[in-house]
Structure 1
Amino acid sequence: MLSITHKLIVSSLLALSWITPVLAAKDETLTRAELYKLIQTVELWLQNKKPRKAELKDVMVPRDAVKTGVSSQAELFFNDKSLIRVDQSSIFRFEPGVRRFELKNRIAMNEVIFKLENGTALILSPPGSVGTKVETPQSKISIFAANPLNSQSSSPELTSLFSPASKASAAMVIHDSTTNKTRVFALTDGEFAISDQQDKKTVALKGGQTVAVKNGVVGKVQEFDLQGFYKSTNLTSGLAPNQENLVAQEALQVQETLKIVRTQTLAALRNQTKRIQGFTSTFLSDALGGTEGDLNPRFRGSVRISNPQVTRGTFYRIEGNRAIFIPENNPNSVQRLNLDFDTGTVTIDGKSGVRNKAGLSGNNASGSVINANGEITQIDVFGVNGEEPENGIPYSGSLTTGVARDR
């Protein structure tokens, strides 16, 4: 029924409650997920049955699926207290496959298979889960993975032992079957590793970092703006600062999961702020002193500035060369940009000046417009790691005005 070629497989290793300190063996599949919340059109695909309209408290068992329509959403609450939010135009299912062997503070198991086809899922995992593995036909993504320990058992089925994770984790995974592209957004700090199928290239993610895998090729890690992401992504409701009231509206069990995941999303936000401050200070050093910093050699869009006035904010590339910059201190004062990295040119609020430049290098992207009187406006996008900013993703950046210095 579903497309195998473009499917996104999410293998999630779920935690156990430790019942006994002695060795015990039992077969236990991932037993159930309850449809906790439904918005607009959601279908339930029960195994060997015709699809029907989903209803609240419907139970999914392995080999069942949900399909969300346009402007629709489903939330699934699993028996291990994981919460998965499935966005619009998505198909999500899970399959059996777990065989658990319990040891004191250790766990050995095979995998439960989650499948997400052509859509978006936000995966919120409380402490105790062992790990999640995401696979596309040409990529492998390990999320929430604990470090494996060597097994001392003679049983061939106990060859991979894991310690349960001590912290909650959150990540968003998007797969577009039409372009065979997967993008992963890490919302917490932890074990996030993305590789191709041959493990030739592996990258790690911190909270606030993203990477794309297209046609089996792993791209460069980019630093997306967590604050801007939470403002523009409804699926993350309850994870951002000052959203305690949204958490309080949920059922008590879901509140418990959101609260513990939220401690880690807020920590990741604080850690990213420190990293972004590092990018900002590097830029200011370059602008004021003319030093190269981590921009070596100086890239085409960077210009030395006297008396710089720096405004922090969020950069979005909308489509093609069009982009906007939203100042942090005045969100209503949106700056409209046309940033062409192919030609190395930029306009800012319709002004191209007597000189304009744009470029990529080091951590950042930059574009500057110099007027006839020497006044300069410069946009800097932090943490893109030498890659062009992608459409629809918020990036932290700054808008700087001042006087262009002779170089």
Structure 2
Amino acid sequence: MPITPQKIVFWQKLAISIVAVCLSCERAFADSAIDSAEIYRVRNQVELNRGNTNWKPAQTGDTVVPQDSVKTGANSRAELLFNEGTLVRTAAGTVFRFPLGKRRFELTSGAALIMIRPQQGESTIVTPEARIVTQGTALFVRHDRQRNASLVGVLTESPAGLVKVKNANGEIAIELQAGQFVSIVNGVIGLVEYFVLPMFYETTELAVGLATGQENALDRESPEVRATIEAIRAEAINPLQNQLAWLGSFCQFNLNPDDWRPFLQLLGVNLPSQPLQLQTATTDDLFVVPLRSLEGLSWLSNYCQVKPQSLNPLKNR
């Protein structure tokens, strides 16, 4: 069929319309900016600083705007629900804020678990040692001022891509997938390590609601918070189940608690010749256990002995 001028005009208009729609979608994602948050839940000592004023006690329902800071004391926690659905759970000893006009969160001390709904556009989390870029996922961040050390770990697989981590000056960048974490100390990014996801859910109260068997934990949440957790949990279940299957494959080895050397050598860990003493991991606000550690192998040994058909972490919380 001959190509007429009318057809050329038609296809040009169609192409322009498609581009306009795509740009509109891109702007829609980019425009899901954070401009306010509600203090959704507090425990013990939580304080609010409004624009470099004096710290004052925070209460459930307080509104947090850009440049405000939220601080938690010892044995304290705060949960912040942002206007576009992001849920941030902060641990004890944490200072957290967000600047104006950007999808950016800043943590200067302590630890937080951040749950960002899918399709919200690019988000950046900044600590004094790290810059983290993500496209909607659940991740945890910790910063230790005394050691100039930050830690970043990922819980979910986002279809939009992996989590990117840079040191503060942006010279070095790595990518993390679900079940991996990395430390940045004095500007130096360490090795990417796997952590034991099931053990994380067993010991980390900040993550309640994300793992299999924790559906009842959502009953006490508001519809908005429930929607966020359910969206994140949909991306958290597969990595958890996949890691359980992967860890289960190690059960074919003889995991002897009296001598881990053969298994640790398989994982690429060099150990001294003296006998090793196992240490039991203790529960904390944010406790990350590397697979290549005595605590991780102890958990794996117990798991292989029980080999449950399903995981129900934090079921007693």
Task: Give the TM-score normalised by structure 2.
Answer: 0.71
Aligned positions of 1:272-287 closer than 5 A: 272-278=243-249, 280=250, 284=253
2:90 is equivalent to residue 186 of structure 1: no
Distance (whole Å) between structure 2 residues aligned to residue 394 and residue 125 of structure 1: 31
Q: Alignment length, in residue pairs?
A: 267
Identity %: 29
For residue 282 of structure 2, what is the aligned residue in structure 1?
none
Separation in structure 2 between the aligned mates of residue 184 and residue 212 of structure 1, nearest angstrom? 7
Deviation at 1:235, TM superposition (A): 0.7
1:172 aligns with 2:140: yes
Alignment CA distance shift 1:222-1:251 (3 Å): same
Structure 1 residues 21 and 389: CA distance shift in structure 2, 3 A? closer
Contact 1:182 1:212 in 2 (8 A): yes
Please tell me whether residue 209 in structure 1 is matched to residue 112 in structure 2.
no
Partner of 1:398: 301
- Using the alignment, how far apart are the partners of 1:364 and 1:397 within structure 2? 17
Three-state SS of the structure 2 residue aligned to 1:89 is coil
| SS, match of residue 206 in structure 2 | helix
Pair 1:72 & 2:72 matched: no
User: SS of 1:36's equivalent?
Assistant: strand
The one-letter code sitting in structure 2 at the alignment partner of 1:46 is R
The equivalent position to 2:204 in structure 1, one of 233, 240, 259, is 233
Q: 1:363 aligns with which of 267, 277, 286?
A: 267
Gaps of 5+ in 1: 1-17, 99-110, 145-167, 285-307, 312-334, 336-347, 370-377, 402-407
Residues 44 and 139 of structure 1: CA distance in aligned 2, closer, same or farther (over 3 Å)? closer
Larger Rg: 1
Alpha-carbon distance in structure 1 between the residues aligned to 2:175 and 2:103: 23
State the partner residue of 2:108: 117
Deviation string 1:270-319 (CA, Å, 9 cap, x unpaired) is: 122233345x17x73xxxxxxxxxxxxxxxxxxxxxxx4x58xxxxxxxx
Q: Whose strand fraction is larger, Structure 1's or Structure 2's? A: 1
Alignment-mate amino acid for residue 183 of structure 1: L
Residue of structure 2 aligned with 1:250, choices 208, 221, 230: 221
Give the one of 17, 42, 49 matched to 2:46.
42
The answer to whether the 8 Å contact 1:276/1:396 transfers is no
Question: What SS class does the counterpart of residue 37 from structure 1 fall into?
Answer: strand
For 1:123 and 1:257, the matched residues in 2 are separated by 11
SS state of the match for residue 300, structure 2?
A: strand
Give the root-mean-square deviation of aligned CA atoms.
3.9
> Quick check: 1:229–1:393 contact (8 Å CA) kept in 2?
no
Contact 2:103 2:124 in 1 (8 A): no
Matched, 1:259 2:225: no
CA distance in 2 between partners of 1:264 and 1:28 (Å): 20
Which residue in 1 is equivalent to 2:91?
Answer: 87
> Contact 2:106–2:127 at 8 Å: present in 1 too?
no
Equivalents in 2 of 1:269, 1:222: separation in Å? Answer: 16
Cα distance between partner residues in 1 of 2:55 and 2:272: 55
- Aligned partner letter, 1:389: S
Q: Structure 2: how far apart are the matches of 1:124 and 1:21?
A: 22
Find the aligned partners of 1:23 and 1:221 in 2 and give their Cα distance: 34
Alpha-carbon distance between aligned partners in 2 of 1:27 and 1:132, rounded to the nearest angstrom: 12
Matched, 1:131 2:133: no
**Cα gap change, 1:246 to 1:213, in 2 (>3 Å):** same
User: Higher helix fraction: Structure 1 or Structure 2?
Assistant: 2
Deviations 1:305-362 (A, max 9, x none): xxx4x58xxxxxxxxxxxxxxxxxxxxxxx7xxxxxxxxxxxx4xxx8xxx9589545
User: How far has the Cα of 1:212 moved from its partner?
Assistant: 0.8
Residues 365-407 of structure 1: CA distance to partner in whole angstroms, max 9, x if unpaired?
48799xxxxxxxx9xxxx969xx639x8798633799xxxxxx
Give the conservation status (yes or no) of the 8 Å contact 1:224–1:394: no
CA distance in 2, matches of 1:221, 1:41: 34
Q: 1:35-83, CA deviations, whole angstroms, 9 ceiling, x for partnerless residues?
A: 1001001011112532211111000011111110111000000000110
1 CA distance for matches of 2:32 and 2:228? 22
Counterpart position of 1:10 = none
Q: Distance in 1 between matches of 2:47 and 2:156?
A: 31
